[in-house]
Amino acid sequence: PSERKLSELFGVGRTYVRDAIKKLEFFGILKPLPQSGTVVTGTDISVLEGLFTNIIKLNKKDFFYLVETRVLLERESARLAALRRTDKDIEDIWKAFYAYEDQVKKNLTGVDQDFNFHLKIAEVSQNPVIKSLMLIVIPDILNAYRKLNVCGEGRYLKSISEHIEIIKMIEKQDGEGAAKMMEKHLHDVLEFSRNTNVII
């Protein structure tokens, strides 16, 4: 929509809308097209990489805290998703899972599909702040994992079974069970970040 329409929609001045658009363009989330307006480029990993590290410079110790924050967000995301999900939400989570599983079975990492699976759970939690924070935090973390091959070949297959267990807990509306399964799923990467010297 135009700046004027966005201004009316959100009830803010056009200056605020213009500033917000410029920030999103800076991070590569929006792209201005001559004579066509501004479009969303996407929300995959490549678009969002660097969003967090462009805001603050991380050192070696901070990387662990960044991953720790991811675990906290994802635990709560899974717990709330289990408590608030609808039947349609379950269908959407399974659809995101199958997209990831398909990539793994093709011997691909499925990084974007894995990212979308976790984002879908955050969306089902019905807490837009959790989803927004995950959009900021996770891409840089996954980029570091990918560069260092943290998951390894066997890890992707293990992730499939763990994803299924998380979905089952959400289906049963077992909030604590979903949170525990998510924590178990992220345990290895948390331990890696605790012992690594990587700077992203």
168: helix, coil or strand?
helix
pLDDT of 143-199, one tens digit each? 777 666 665 555 667 889 999 999 999 999 999 999 999 999 999 888 888 887 655
Name the nearest CA neighbour of 194 among 62, 49, 70. 62
48-72 tens-digit pLDDT: 655 555 555 555 557 788 889 999 9
Nearest to 137 by CA among 71, 39, 41: 71
Query: How far is 157 from 101, CA to CA, in rounded Å?
Result: 9
Mean pLDDT within 33-41: 81
Question: What's the N-to-C CA distance of the chain in angstroms?
Answer: 35
How large is the angle between the packed helices 152-171 and 175-195, nearest 10 degrees?
160
